[in-house]
Amino acid sequence: GNSVTQMEGPVTLSEEAFLTINCTYTATGYPSLFWYVQYPGEGLQLLLKATKADDKGSNKGFEATYRKETTSFHLEKGSVQVSDSAVYFCAGGDSSYKLIFGSGTRLLVRP
Amino acid sequence: EPEVTQTPSHQVTQMGQEVILRCVPISNHLYFYWYRQILGQKVEFLVSFYNNEISEKSEIFDDQFSVERPDGSNFTLKIRSTKLEDSAMYFCASSEVPGGTEAFFGQGTRLTVV
């Protein structure tokens, strides 16, 4: 079945550092891909998405490009802020009715 | 902005008791979901619901679980006889089309079984 693998955390960065969180997927076909963010004590919020190969999703300075050749959807941000500290989940949709989530990566940004 | 609303935010229950978790999906959405997240672990799919019936369910969603849309706005998850291992954050979600496009999640209900 489909699966999503993302890098383990925690990832600890200093403010204004460059962020990459790796995500790869295994699927039949080409599912839509998503990044969700979970701030401390809150629920899941959609951060960005891409629905087909070479699409780039972007929001709040975060970007991810759907790369079919490497089956990847890595999350990047050029300059992180303390307020970006959260858990980030990569997820893939499929032709059924559910999302498959990665295990989540905790990001801690220090001032 | 429309949002998915879940109640209560936190529920504590005795082992063996029944609990009902409530959700109000976004009003024009047709597909509804429950996911759960055991503390520190990944978010897991439980069940999807469309046109008043279950579309898909995971292995986790055994006979102790049931879902219902009792009226035009609410979507509920019932756990008939809770176990300690049911302690988790339960997320409701809804979408306009099947889960391949974005689903909107509620804030979650933290269920603690003691």
Q: Which residues in chain A have their CB less than 8 angstroms from residue B42's CB?
A: 89, 101-104
Structure token digits, residue B51:
């046109």
Whether A87 has a pLDDT exceeding 60, the answer reads: yes
pLDDT attached to residue B102: 76
Minimal CA separation from A19 to chain B, in Å: 21
| Confidence at residue B90, expressed as pLDDT on a 0 to 100 scale | 96
* A and B: number of Cβ contacts within 8 A: 68
Cβ(A74)–Cβ(A33) below 8 Å: no
Q: Which residue did the predictor score with more confidence, A67 or B39?
A: A67
The pLDDT score that the predictor gives to residue A59 is 97
Tell me the one-letter amino acid at B99.
G
Considering only CB atoms, B100 lies closest to which of A89, A95, A102, namely A95
> Is residue A75's pLDDT more than 80?
yes
Per-residue pLDDT at A95: 63
Low-confidence stretches of chain B (pLDDT < 50) are none
* Residue A51: per-residue pLDDT: 87
Contact A42, B107 (CB under 8 A): yes
B42 contacts A104? CB cut-off 8 A: yes
pLDDT at A96: 67
